[in-house]
Structure formats: structure tokens, C-alpha cells
Chains A and B, each alone.
Chain A
């Protein structure tokens, strides 16, 4: 087990390296003169030229690459085109905001999907199950921005209970978390139900009933513990998708997070910020992936005890 952890952590280093190289390539793949992009379309030639020299765009590509890697290794991701502040200053605080949103939404989604999925599987093919199936189907067909807009309209504008945007109080959390969380909940409920139905069809469930175990023990202990293996993987993927969905959710609710920063930077052509945001997002995804693998290995006694 520890070998697994160490191995995967070490993997983060070459992964980060690959990532940074990719970002470098990205910057230079975008059609257009990088110096002009940094200076702005209307900047005078002299400004463009001085930027070109300062950033070393006149150097051969491999030299630029080397300098870029060196700067990143020192924690320098460049400065924003617009604010002229270091990229890291804008990006890092936003990470926490996004993390809060994603974490709470995922928590919501996990609780809801586990409950509904298990109950659904317990009452397999009976009315409750069919109802849950229909609701979750509608849920996965309704994108986050539709739910978000509807939520804003009803709860913020029509009823006036909740605020529309920002992040200052607990009330600000309600709509974004439920919006992002319920989409994920719909996706996960279907999968949890499927895993539970599979588990409930296994032989050891018959054995458990034959022992005289009551049904809730059969479902929530015997079946769920086995279904947890695939469910954990699904939750891990779900966390990734929640982070992806947070980009849209942050845009809807003006949430000061990494996703909204990234999108805005793309719209305003603030490339250094875009690179910084992509870099951190990617590292987060790799980290999440690692964590999920670890949790899975821990949950499966076949891996843990070998």
C-alpha cells in the first residue's frame, strides 16, 4: 500500500513537468504574435518590441522553453496582462473558493445519491424506484446553467429568499451548491442504484438472508459495503466532473473561483492568467485522481491486505 502511495506521489513531478511543457506549447500554438497578444492589439510598435525583448520572444524556441521552465520552477507564472499583478496572486486565492464550492456540492451529491440509490435498489422496480429513476433521468438531461437560471429566478427574484451572486454569507452558498450538486446527484444516483442492484443480485446476499438478517442490514451492510468499491471510483470521477461543472456554475453565480477566472481570462485574452488557471486546475485533477485510487485501494481488502 505505501509503495502505491509513494509511487503515485512521485508521478506528480513528471506530470507537472509535462503539464508545464504543454502550457508552453499552448501559448505558442495560438495563432498570432505572442508579443502583440501580451501588449494588446492597439499597442504601439515600440511597446510591442520592448515586450518582445523583455519576454524573450525573439529568442529561439528552445531557449524560451528553458527560461519558462526555470521561471515556473521558481514559482513565477508571469503577470496578468490586465492587472499587471503576478499571476499566482490572482489564481491561488481563487482555488480555495472553487474548492469550497466543489467540496460542498460533492458532499451534497454523495449523500443524496447514496440515499436515493440504495433505497431505489431496495424497492427495485416498485413505484418508488421508478419515480427516482425518472427524476434522476430528468436531472442528467438538465444542464447546470438551466437549473441555475431557474433557481435564480424562483428563489432570488421571485421569492427573494436567496442572493443572486457573490460569496459573502452562507446564503450565498445555497443555490450554487444545490445547482452544481443536484446535477451530479442525478448522475450518481443512477450509478449507485446500478451498483447496488448488481450487489443485491450476488450469492452472498442470499446467504445473508438465509442467516436471518433483516432487509436493511442486507442492503446497507452486506450489499453497500461491496458496492462501495465501484461507487468510490464513481464518486472520484464525480468529483472531477463537479470541478469541471464548477466552471459553469461559478459563471452563473459570479462565484469568485478558479473556473470563472479561467473563463474570463480566455474572453479577455489574458493569456498568462489562462495558463496559470489551467495549470492549477490540471494539478488538482491529477491530485484528485491520485486520492481516488488510494481510497479505492484502501476500501478493497483484496488490495489492502496483500
Chain B
């Protein structure tokens, strides 16, 4: 572990954005305490005020402080995307491991179904699922998680296939271990690294899709702030209050950028062979 951090720290970009990402997560965790104003407080006397000393990013159509809402939205995003990622991993990985190990018709069937699902872009799958699961935070988590799960099934199955040919698996089978035991004790520890890397790499995708859903009105509903949703509201007031775009847009781009670069840095730290020709 310390070895990993030592090698990771050699990548300056990775370190910078790693720190930035940690700061963003910190903001998410402490959102309730660090907002300068109440993100939900309606103040009709201060509607549409441009950025000022009192409201760094201005106020929206209800007089709410944009900066506070952006900060709270960070928490919402982190909550939703982390839960969705966890959902995708917890559904996709066990399925992938099981069918990869078992093989046979169940693997064929599962992989065919997975391949069919993978034809559709994640956002489409998410929209369809959200029709059933409803436009709530939980609904979004389920929708995003289920939409991303096929990818995890495919990847997990892939690495499981390569690991299951290893001698220690054969030895475990010869020793009479059951499939559950083999999966948990022998296969999982050896595939956990690429799976975790993959999960890290999908984080920016989750954020983009979550905000897209909210932009469409199918995600997190007002008054709970979410960056995509705030941008949807901003659209209606582009002429008289264009500054409404700044906060949520900047937060989105910075978050996704950090997540992307950290993901790249993690991947490269764990796979030095790939460093040769980039």
C-alpha cells in the first residue's frame, strides 16, 4: 500500500488533482456546516442578484445563494454517485465472478444478455430504468447503478476467466473447496485490483450521467440542489441572469476533471508497463 502511494506521488498531476478531489469530498462531507447561507432559504427580496460580496456566485430566481447550493449539490452528487457506483459493483461483480467461474450455458446466456445491454448507451438505460424507479435520489442511484452494472459484469468475467486457470485455483479445487469459497478466497483477492481501478475510472461517468439525468428533470428533484438541475433552471434565465451558469458548471467540470485525472494516475501507477508509450 505504501509502495503504491510512493509510486503515485511521483505523478505530479495525479497528486495535485488527488488533493483537489479529496478537498471536494471534504466539501461534500461537511457541506451542511460550511455553506455561507442556507441553500434552501428563499429570499424574494434578493432574487437574481448578480455575484457580489454577500453572494459570491449570485442568487437564483428564489433568492437562494448559489454558492451554498453548489456546495450542497457537491454532497448530493457525491452521495448519489458513490452509492450508484457501489450498487453497480455489488450487482455486477458477483454475477461476473460467478458466471466467469462456472462457465457453461449460464455463462453464455449471461454474456449474451450483457452484450445486448451494452449496445445501449448508459444514459439511455438510466432513463428507461428511472421511468420505473422514479425521479428520486434512490431512483437515480438504482437507475445509474443498474445501467452501469453490465460493464462490471463483463470486466469481472474477463479477469475471472484469466485467474481461474491459475494453479492455486486448481489446487483449491483438488483440496475439495466449494465454489463460493474459491470465489471469495482465491479469485476475488486477485481480481480486486483491476476491479477497483475500473470503479475509480467510472466515477466521472457516474457524475456526468447523474447530472444529465437531473438536467433532464429525471433525476434529483428541486428543491434539493444538483448541478445538472441548477443548470436546467439557469437555462430559463439566460438572458437576465447568465451568471447562474458559472457555479454549477465550474463545479461539474472541476469535479469530473479531477476524477478523470486521478483515475488515470491510479491506472498508470498500478500498470507501469503502460507507461512506455502513452
Determine the chain B residues whose CB is within 8 A of the CB of A281 once the complex forms: 124
User: How many chain B residues have a CB neighbour from A under 8 Å?
Assistant: 39
Residue from the set A29, A142, A144, A149 with the largest chain B CB neighbour count within 10 Å: A149
Is B216 a contact of A244 with CB atoms below 8 Å? no
Is B218 a contact of A26 with CB atoms below 8 Å? no
CB distance from B95 to the nearest CB of A (A): 19
CB distance from B277 to the nearest CB of A (A): 6
Tell whether B245 is near chain A: CB-to-CB under 8 Å: yes
The secondary-structure label for the interface of chain B is helix
Is B231 a contact of A146 with CB atoms below 8 Å? yes
Determine the chain A residues whose CB is within 8 A of the CB of B40 once the complex forms: none
Tell whether A153 is near chain B: CB-to-CB under 8 Å: yes
Is B234 a contact of A263 with CB atoms below 8 Å? no
Is B257 a contact of A285 with CB atoms below 8 Å? no
Tell whether B22 is near chain A: CB-to-CB under 8 Å: no
Given A247-B124, A247-B127, A263-B127: A157 in contact with B215 (beta carbons within 8 A): no
Q: How far is the CA of A150 from the CA of B245 in the complex (A)?
A: 8
User: How many chain A residues have a CB neighbour from B under 8 Å?
Assistant: 42
- In the complex formed, the residue of A with least CB distance to B255 is A141
Determine the chain B residues whose CB is within 8 A of the CB of A241 once the complex forms: 121
Determine the chain B residues whose CB is within 8 A of the CB of A285 once the complex forms: 119-121, 124
Tell whether A138 is near chain B: CB-to-CB under 8 Å: yes
Tell whether A262 is near chain B: CB-to-CB under 8 Å: yes
Tell whether A92 is near chain B: CB-to-CB under 8 Å: no
CB distance from A241 to the nearest CB of B (A): 5
Tell whether A230 is near chain B: CB-to-CB under 8 Å: no
Q: How far is the CA of A95 from the CA of B233 in the complex (A)?
A: 27
Is B253 a contact of A240 with CB atoms below 8 Å? no
Q: Which of B59-67, B71-79, B192-200, B204-212 contacts A (4 or more CB under 8 A)?
A: B204-212
Is A245 a contact of B215 with CB atoms below 8 Å? no
Tell whether A63 is near chain B: CB-to-CB under 8 Å: no
24 A-B residue pairings within 8 Å (CB atoms): A26-B128, A26-B132, A137-B257, A141-B253, A141-B257, A142-B253, A143-B212, A143-B215, A143-B228, A143-B256, A145-B211, A149-B231, A149-B234, A150-B245, A150-B249, A152-B235, A153-B242, A157-B242, A243-B121, A247-B124, A248-B212, A263-B217, A266-B130, A278-B128
